Structure 1
């Protein structure tokens, strides 16, 4: 079954400047959510969720640049296995986000980071 784009994140060093920019350019709205430095983005599209967050590193010494994307998958463990078998690598082992689901970060053979989320509202 195809895995649809479900979530994207903008990583920013200056969150206030990023909020001003995206509000002015795309008319996005931001709501604080979760840990400090994390905002939900209201893009007007209820099928794809967005976040603005403090820039981070998924691999040591490699700051996230550009947009992060997360795809909805039926079985995150199977996706991780398939990624490794296809020449990718695991950047972050599967972790559970309470009330959201199970998330893993993988890297394609060209170094692009990709999130795979098995959504589960009952996840603990």
Structure 2
């Protein structure tokens, strides 16, 4: 049955120090932190770009820590039917780490992984979709990058489950192929086989800022690390790849240096 392509629409940081992470990203990206509480739920902070929520921050759950989990960002892909989407992931060779579960007042979610072992979430929200924002809007997520062990098979998986289509294929020499992908419009990300120095496959998310050099300085001034960049990428944007003070990987993108 034909369906509308689906991509990431919410982002969540699991961290070892929620309050410190709130302060770091507020200082670096300019997010406004807002506590969110539901009876019986662990503490959670929504981060806002202007008056619109773009993601959340929470302390790492005990079971996540016991499984060896480290501070990391995760993305939520919208599902029209969380149960059917989770079953589709399983049939396509992925893993369902947590079966679909209701979050009162939010929606129905599931924790899954693609066939290469990269974890992401599915969410069937209770409310309607929010209107899209321009791709380079400060504080929003401007790019999604998958480092994996087999990008061709990874693309086939996401294409079959969420309707993603191929964009430009870029030859990066010794680093291999970088495959752009779209979800019903312009490209929203890329995927490639991970370099040896990256220990495990993962999704990396790029947060939009207005000027890359100033943002890189804010990362360092607030206790984070700049691992790579500033670097200009095709299309004229500038990026840096970073670690926050708790060790979670993230990246920043800006239209100018």
**TM-score, with normalisation over the residues of structure 2?**
0.43
Greater gyration radius: 2
Equivalences for 1:1-124 in 2 at 5 Å?
A: 1-34=4-37, 35-44=41-50, 46=52, 49-56=54-61, 57-58=63-64, 61-121=67-127
Q: CA RMSD of the aligned region, Å?
A: 2.0
Gapped regions of structure 2 (runs ≥ 5): 128-257
Query: In structure 2, how many angstroms separate the alpha carbons of the residues matched to 1:90 and 1:60?
Result: 18
Number of residue pairs the alignment of both structures matches:
120
Q: Which has the higher contact order (CA 8 A, sep 6+)?
A: 1
**TM-score, with normalisation over the residues of structure 1?**
0.84
**Secondary structure class of the residue paired with 2:22:** helix
Q: Which runs of 4+ in 1 moved over 4 A?
A: 57-60
1:75-96: CA deviation from partner (whole Å, max 9, x where unpaired): 1122111111111111101111
Gapped regions of structure 1 (runs ≥ 5): none
